Amino acid sequence: MAGVGVPASVCALDAVQALPRTPDRRTALGFAPGTPGLILTCLWEFQMSTYKRATLDEEELVDSMEGDAYPNGIQVNFHGSRGSRTCGAERTPVEKCLLGVTALLLVGLLACVAFLFVQYQNRPCLTESCLSVTSSILSSLDRSVDPCEDFFAYACGGWIKANPIPDGHSRWGTFNKLWEHNQAILKHLLENTTAVLSSEAERKAQRYYQSCMNETKIEELKEKPLTDRIQKLGGWNINVSLATKDFNRTLLEVVAHLHISPFFSIYVGADSKNSSCNIVQVDQSGLGLPSRDYYLNKTQNEKVLAGYLDFMVQLRMLVGEQDEASARQQMQEILDFETSLANITIPQEKRRDEEQIYHKITAGELKNLAPAVDWMPLLEAVFSPVEVNETEPVVVYAREYLEQVSSLILRTDKRILHNYMLWNLVRKGATLLDQRFQDAEEKFMEVMYGSKKACLPRWKYCVSDTDINLGFALGAMFVKATFAEDNKAVAEEMIAEIKRAFEESLAQLAWMDEETRQAAREKAEAIYDMIGYPKFIMDPQELDKVFKDYDAVADLYYENVMQFLNFSARVAADQLRKPPNRDQWSMTPPTVNAYYSPTKNVIVFPAGILQSPFYTRNNPKALNFGGIGVVVGHELTHAFDDQGREYDKGGNLRPWWKNSSVEAFKQQAECMIQQYGNYSVHGEAVNGRHTLGENIADNGGLKAAYRAYQNWVRKNGAEETLPTLGLTNDQLFFVGFAQVWCSVRTPESSHEGLVTDSHSPSRFRVIGSLSNSKAFSEHFQCRPGSPMNPRQKCEVW
């Protein structure tokens, strides 16, 4: 390894062996042609002459080894020794010859060292894993594109050409491919009923999956599981004699016992201003389409609205209506009501300041806020068997919305309200029923997302549904089958390195005052990380204890789902007023994702994402830092985005920044709002304000991960490069980051993403972050003013 004192002879030998065997290889070592002959002549003269100088004593020998250090550890003396001749003394011919040879040797040696240093920096990795990842990277690139013009097209152009959207999908990318890989593993685990399982919870997961796969029984039952519940609620188009009383009775039933959220949602969560306690929370809800924009922008969404109405009509007829005209009239009334809900629903970009939308009141005060709802019987039923009364604290996140939805309920025909609640029940239960319902859903998805019609294997739906509901039992099986425990140590080390890099950048921010900087540093140090899986799932007794009150039978899928919803509601109610469990996960182990929780100040990385292309043990560090490293940096930066920064190191929503830094942060953030707001897909602009938090996290995560990689190289030395790519490892870092986001979407899916997703489209997650990176522009030598190196760059963290 260069720089550790390798002897000159070894250095020269290694260099010669590494070069092609051509007559010119001596020149490559730094010697001029003919030099070896001169050396031999001088040495012969030296041996044959009379040496006229006194032999050096020990003190002179030590002194002759002093001098300036060179990268290979060799010391070269440029000082005269204490036994050297006096100034002006004549040298002998032999001495002159030897001095010339020494000079030539020195020049050659320095050239050798410089050559090997360069070779060391750029030596190729030829292992099987390096060749494999090189092939993958190369096939994804499009070298016809200038990386300084469009880095996403450069990094992903080849991948996009080779990966058309598969039938049945509206989007396709590296995340989808990895999830399908995980699904195949989960399928094997769920179907291997002869395997010895360590817990009853795992067997429950298998039975749940079997009930989902039992299409014979599902087809036999048809719509009956759903229509039975509709009849218990009085059926469609009932004549309401005691309007308000009947409305609240139906509302209680669908919310508390059927776990549907028409009008608003009620749930338990950590109190943002007192994160040591779980509290009742109420928020806006009730739209059948993914965003209010679909209802309000009728011209742009005409096709989707027509498709949605047709879907509603089809489902209404599948659950008992014989007359299509009547079904259409009923569903049009419901669609009109949902449009009224959309009009009073607060847009997400106006809900980003959590200090402003947080309102704590008592349960008794809800009656004054929204008098159309009989709140106390509803809350008592939702949280049974836990008792609540009018003094129960409640956090309302949609105060204005609740006031308006109450007025809307009071002035709407109660028959329409009743039908609307039944529609919510039908919409939620349709995916659990026979093929007629599946076909209707598939047809609507084709309109909504532009997916090509295809009958996807039933097992994929059932694997995903089992993971959603019994994912921790299933996760125990997944972890035991796939997760290498040393991956956890690698991830922990990388998290520590990226935290360190983030704190280093924090120290250099010019816009932040010192007091706030110190508090931010303390918050970063306090961030807790959870990797792979929650500990309890690997203890069969603990796992069984969690699922002891739930069971599944192999032939009643609809009932299994409804029983699980009841089970989940009881678990949630039991958490009321208790301290949140910091080790509780919101994602299951097989999930290909990660998250940050502000009230816990925790970052979480499930086992499902700790795989290629995000992380591979034998990959160059440049790729791992560009992959999982940026993911880590992204989640860590969420602690300091426009929402996360409002929470202190203990997870409490409170002002902990000085006003000067708050204003400076907003100015920095405004740059990103404008930058991303200027991007568009198919002529439709990205919402720079709605995506602000994710854009800050993307930019901060990239910067922290790259800085951490640089720190790693300084500590460990340069890595081998990948062969044939012609990329330095710094360039490879940025290519690896970009290729994580290679993806394609249908126009309909792109539109859906723009109006619902808090993340920018993948293309702009790459282009936006890299065009703000000075390091990227330097390593790819992008001229100032080029698309990937704009003169104005945005930076928050």
What pLDDT, in 10s, does the model give residues 140-172?
A: 999 999 999 999 999 999 999 999 999 889 999
Token representation of residue 40: 């031999």
What pLDDT, in 10s, does the model give residues 72-88?
A: 333 333 333 333 333 34
Among candidate residues 635, 641, 642, 648, the one labeled active-site is 635
Q: For residue 602, give the nearest of 529, 535, 700 by alpha carbon.
A: 529
Q: Kindly tell me if the per-residue pLDDT of 313 is higher than 70.
A: yes
Q: Kindly tell me if the per-residue pLDDT of 242 is higher than 70.
A: no
Going by pLDDT thresholds of 50, 70 and 90, the confidence category of residue 122 is: low
Comparison of pLDDT for 280 and 452, the residue scoring more: 280
Is position 635 annotated as part of the catalytic site?
Answer: yes
For residue 109, what pLDDT is reported? 59
Q: Kindly tell me if the per-residue pLDDT of 56 is higher than 90.
A: no
For residue 91, what pLDDT is reported? 53
For residue 275, what pLDDT is reported? 95
Which architecture does CATH list for 223-432? Orthogonal Bundle (1.10)
What pLDDT, in 10s, does the model give residues 541-552?
A: 999 999 999 999
Comparison of pLDDT for 100 and 562, the residue scoring more: 562
Mean pLDDT of 586-604: 96
Q: Kindly tell me if the per-residue pLDDT of 584 is higher than 60.
A: yes
Among candidate residues 434, 648, 698, 752, the one labeled active-site is 698
Going by pLDDT thresholds of 50, 70 and 90, the confidence category of residue 452 is: confident
Is position 529 annotated as part of the catalytic site?
Answer: no
For residue 82, what pLDDT is reported? 35
**CATH number among 1.10.10.60, 3.40.390.10, 3.40.50.1460, 1.10.238.10, domain 487-527+601-797:** 3.40.390.10
For residue 198, what pLDDT is reported? 93
Handedness of CA 668, 674, 680, 686 (dihedral sign): positive
For residue 71, what pLDDT is reported? 34
Kindly list the distances between the CA atom of residue 207 and the CA atoms of 195, 479, 555, 556, in Å, as whole numbers in the listed order.
Answer: 14, 19, 8, 10
Token representation of residue 631: 């993911």
Task: Identify whether the C-beta of residue 697 lies closer than 8 Å to the C-beta of residue 670.
Answer: no
Query: Residue ranges per domain, the chain?
Result: 8-121, 223-432, 487-527+601-797
For residue 372, what pLDDT is reported? 96
pLDDT-above-90 percentage for the chain: 78
CB-based burial of residue 451 (10 Å sphere; 0-12 exposed, 13-18 middle, 19+ buried)? buried
Task: Identify whether the C-beta of residue 340 lies closer than 8 Å to the C-beta of residue 263.
Answer: no
For residue 128, what pLDDT is reported? 80
Q: Kindly tell me if the per-residue pLDDT of 750 is higher than 80.
A: yes
Going by pLDDT thresholds of 50, 70 and 90, the confidence category of residue 618 is: confident
Handedness of CA 272, 276, 281, 285 (dihedral sign): positive
Whole-angstrom distance, CA of residue 126 vs CA of residue 115: 20
What pLDDT, in 10s, does the model give residues 178-228?
A: 999 999 999 999 999 999 999 999 999 999 999 999 999 999 999 999 999
Predicted TM-score of the model (pTM): 0.82
- Mean pLDDT (the chain, rounded): 86
Q: Kindly tell me if the per-residue pLDDT of 55 is higher than 90.
A: no
Q: Kindly tell me if the per-residue pLDDT of 67 is higher than 60.
A: no
